[in-house]
A and B are shown apart, each in its own frame.
Chain A
């Protein structure tokens, strides 16, 4: 009986290990889900439109669940579209939502993505400032010379490194990016910013501080 208990316990431990290992594995695999969330803002506008039209009764949360799928299917049936429950270009068109941005706004999109990932909790002007820092780096000899080069420079932005860059930017981030591209720069040429609470680099403190906006300190 004692032996049985020992085995039972060791079995439980291993079962836990198995579940743990499996879930860790699946968690890493989930990276793909993060990419899929990329269309959550589109999902939100789809849900809103469907709600306005009386097809959708759930929350406008950007999550494409059963309720949304059901609403999309019903909508497609009523509007004579191919009924597949998938929001493709045709369905988007029928809903009056434009599906994609043109190629030339890819700089704006990238900038908005980085702003959203890095500073989404910050006041509006703090988001403009983050976008401005990226553009100042493009101009500076010490950094890459393109927006994509600056954003994807290794170790440059935490939120790029950990994949938050793939979250879909919200309207505020777009506005902030647009303002910065139009020449707004509340930091007047800053090349760095950091959060003094979480900054790990000693070096960053040696830079001359220009302005503090929200949680971020901007420096030259």
Chain B
């Protein structure tokens, strides 16, 4: 009895051992496969990071040398050429910097500085091309910019030495606590606490003047939440004001009271009303209907009526298009037959019921002032002679257009076609200079002006 039991258990033992061995071997193989593919992914990733890092070092080194030459040069043409190169270097450096995996807020000062160097040098080069020499103040700023770039270079060079000793960006980039990782602290020598970054005053890309734009069109006194609410009731006549709930306030560039309501179909609409003047600033809602029952023309009239109710009158439709089941309509004021493009109001209308689903008047209230519109100094025909001869002019209007950095110019707007494409060409109506060209680009999501 005992014998047979031992025999039996021996048999079981052998079977179990074999199964166990197979299991262990199988697990080992699986683990091996997993690890080797993991390793190869990690290496690929690390190589991408290293490439970015070394290209960053290159760009910063180049920018440093060229900036130094700018300081030593006395020729405006050569300085302009160098500054354009510095701008390109800085822009490329920014791209590389933003591809390294430090925490999102880790190097924001450095990135802002690099971007501003790119915008600042580009603006200086443009000025030089127009015959404006570099001022004493800009010369001093350039010297400070140069010093900061030298410091970034030093800190990158010491990082490079670590790289040569086998520093691994991928493993240093793993999250430790919250967003924080080791790479962030290793690169922190570049951050604003260790390197002083100068303020660059200019009107160009990434300048502070672009970020801190002031609201020009809301010179009204502050109203109460109740007044704001009753103003919404006057505009959205088909909802009862009791259903409008107060959601809080927004305290950004614009200060608003925020409301929302839900209609019987469950559609949720969010409305923001300015504290100053109690004006409707934005309305957003989602289109629930997937049918088109009304045409673009009727939608345009709905948009104009709505703007009037929202206390924005004297508007004209300057652009409209159908995207999906919605009509997007842009309105602008017209003063003495001149379209005021900076004061744009955007309205979105659903094509099933003709409800206004979106209203956006931030540009309008940002820019709207009583402008001094001058009579055109050159005639339509003279302006027409300035545009490219291959363009076929379909329509001519007068317009005030915003240039990139807060400037506004009065222009003739030529709506032209060439090879089946549509272009909007802007010729300054005071100087005859070609200020801008927009092209109508057809996409799956409607046409765009680019």
Question: A residues within 8 Å of B by Cβ?
Answer: 1, 3-4, 7-8, 10-11, 14-15, 17-18, 21-22, 25, 28, 98, 101-102, 104-105, 108, 123-125, 128, 139-145, 149, 153-156, 172, 174-176, 178-179, 182-190, 200-204, 208-213, 220
Please name all residues of chain B whose beta carbon is closer than 8 Å to the beta carbon of A22 when the two chains form the complex: 30
Is residue B246 within 8 Å, beta carbon to beta carbon, of the partner chain?
Answer: no
Give the contacting residue for A142; candidates B20, B33, B111, B286; CB below 8 A. Answer: B111
Inter-chain CA distance A204–B210, complex, in Å, is: 24
Please name all residues of chain B whose beta carbon is closer than 8 Å to the beta carbon of A143 when the two chains form the complex: 98, 108, 111
Please name all residues of chain B whose beta carbon is closer than 8 Å to the beta carbon of A185 when the two chains form the complex: 362
Please name all residues of chain A whose beta carbon is closer than 8 Å to the beta carbon of B121 when the two chains form the complex: none
Which chain B residues (267-309) contact chain A, with CB distance < 8 Å? 268, 270, 272, 282, 284-287
* Known pairs A183-B346, A187-B252, A210-B252; A1 contacts B9 (CB<8 A): yes
Shortest Cβ gap from A77 to chain B (Å): 30
Please name all residues of chain B whose beta carbon is closer than 8 Å to the beta carbon of A176 when the two chains form the complex: 286
The interface size of chain B toward A, counting residues with CB under 8 Å, comes to 77
Please name all residues of chain B whose beta carbon is closer than 8 Å to the beta carbon of A101 when the two chains form the complex: 444-445
Please name all residues of chain A whose beta carbon is closer than 8 Å to the beta carbon of B5 when the two chains form the complex: 1
Inter-chain CA distance A179–B324, complex, in Å, is: 12
Is residue B148 within 8 Å, beta carbon to beta carbon, of the partner chain?
Answer: no
Please name all residues of chain A whose beta carbon is closer than 8 Å to the beta carbon of B341 when the two chains form the complex: none
The answer to whether A105 and B443 have CB atoms under 8 Å apart is yes
Q: Which secondary structure characterizes the binding site on chain B?
A: mixed
Question: B residues within 8 Å of A by Cβ?
Answer: 5, 8-9, 12-13, 16-17, 19-20, 23-24, 26-27, 30-31, 33-34, 91, 94-95, 98-105, 108-109, 111-112, 115-116, 119, 173, 175, 177-181, 206, 210-211, 248-254, 258, 260, 268, 270, 272, 282, 284-287, 323-324, 326, 328, 346, 348, 358, 360, 362-363, 441, 443-445, 448
Please name all residues of chain B whose beta carbon is closer than 8 Å to the beta carbon of A104 when the two chains form the complex: 441, 443, 448
The answer to whether A186 and B272 have CB atoms under 8 Å apart is yes
* Known pairs A1-B9, A124-B270, A178-B445; A11 contacts B111 (CB<8 A): no
Give the contacting residue for B284; candidates A8, A14, A184; CB below 8 A. Answer: A184
Inter-chain CA distance A60–B66, complex, in Å, is: 62
